[in-house]
Structure 1
Amino acid sequence: MPPSSTSQKAMTTQFVQLTGASDRTAQRYLKNAGYKLNEAVDAYFSGGSGTSTPTTSALDTSLNQMFDKLRDDSNDAKDSLGLDSTMAYLQDLGINLENAELLVVMELLQAPAVGELTRKGYVDGWKATGAATRQAHVAHIKSLVNSLATDLTYFRKVYRHTFVASKEDNQKALNLELAIVYWNVLFSAPGLLWQTKNHNWLGLWLQFLQEKWTRSVNRDMWNQILEFAIRSMTDETLSFWSEDGAWPSVVDDFVAWCKEKGVGKAETMDLDA
Structure 2
Amino acid sequence: MADRKMDDNVAQFCAVTGASTKDARSFLQKYKRADVAIDAYYNNPAEFATSSRHSHTAAPSTSKLTTLFSRYKDPNADEITIDGTIKLCEDLEVNPEDVVLLAVAFELKSKRMGEWNKQGWVEGWKSLGCDSIAAMKAILPQLRNRLATDPAYFQKVYKHTFDFARAEGQRSLAIDTAQDFWKLLIPHGLAGGAVSHTKDISEDGDVSMEHEEGWQPDYLEWWFEFLNEKGGKGVSKDTWGMFLDFVRTINATFTNYDMEAAWPSTIDDFVKYAKARLGSPA
- When normalised by structure 2's length, the TM-score is 0.67
| Structure 1 residue 101 displacement after superposition | 2.6
**Taking structure 1 as reference, are residues 92 and 241 closer, same or farther at Cα in structure 2, changes over 3 Å only?**
same
Contact 1:148 1:192 in 2 (8 A): no
Aligned to 1:182: 181
| Deviation per residue, 1:210-251 (Å, 9 max, x gap) | 22242311111111111111113xx22334321211111111
Deviation string 1:122-176 (CA, Å, 9 cap, x unpaired) is: 1111111122221111111111112322222121122111111111221111111
Query: Deviation of residue 264 (structure 1)?
Result: 7.0
Deviation, structure 1 residue 199: 5.8
Q: Which runs of 4+ in 1 moved over 6 A?
A: none
- 1:243 corresponds to 2:244: no
Cα separation, 1, equivalents of 2:236 and 2:258: 22
1:211 aligns with 2:210: no
In structure 1, which of residues 57, 65, 68 is the aligned counterpart of residue 67 of structure 2?
65
The alpha-carbon distance between structure 1 residues 62 and 208, as it changes in their structure 2 partners (threshold 3 A), is: same
Instruction: State how 1:154-169 maps to structure 2 within 5 Å.
Output: 154-169=153-168
Query: Any stretches of 5+ residues in structure 1 without a counterpart?
Result: 1-42, 266-273
**Alignment-mate amino acid for residue 63 of structure 2:** T
> Where does structure 2 lack aligned partners over 5 or more consecutive residues?
1-49, 196-212
- Say whether 1:109 aligns with 2:108: yes
Which position in structure 2 is the counterpart of 1:118? 117
SS of the equivalent of 1:217 reads: coil
Matched residue, 1:262:
278
Judge which range, 60-69 or 122-131, deviates more: 60-69
Are 1:155 and 1:192, in contact at CA under 8 Å, matched by a contact in 2?
A: no
| Cα distance in 2 for residues equivalent to 1:153 and 1:122 | 23
Which protein has the larger Cα radius of gyration, Structure 1 or Structure 2? Answer: 1
CA shift at 1:99, angstroms?
3.3
Listed as ranges, the matches of 1:90-101 within 5 Å are: 90-101=89-100
SS of the counterpart of 2:109? coil
Alpha-carbon deviations, 1:42-79, whole Å to 9, x = none? x9xx86238xx75xxx7323322221222243x4x23x
> How far did 1:82 drift?
1.5
Q: Is the 8 A contact 1:72 1:85 kept in 2?
A: yes
Partner letter of residue 67 of structure 1? Answer: F
Matches of 1:210 and 1:261, distance apart in 2: 16
Q: Secondary structure at the match of 1:173?
A: coil
RMSD of aligned residue pairs (Cα, Å): 2.8
Provide the C-alpha distance between the structure 1 equivalents of 2:116 and 2:216, rounded to a whole number of angstroms. 41
Task: Rate the CA distance shift 1:197–1:251 in 2: closer, same or farther, 3 A.
Answer: closer
User: Alpha-carbon deviations, 1:77-116, whole Å to 9, x = none?
Assistant: 23x1111011111221112223313322222211111111
> Counterpart in 2 of 1:144?
143
Distance in 2 between the 1:263 and 1:209 partners?
Answer: 20
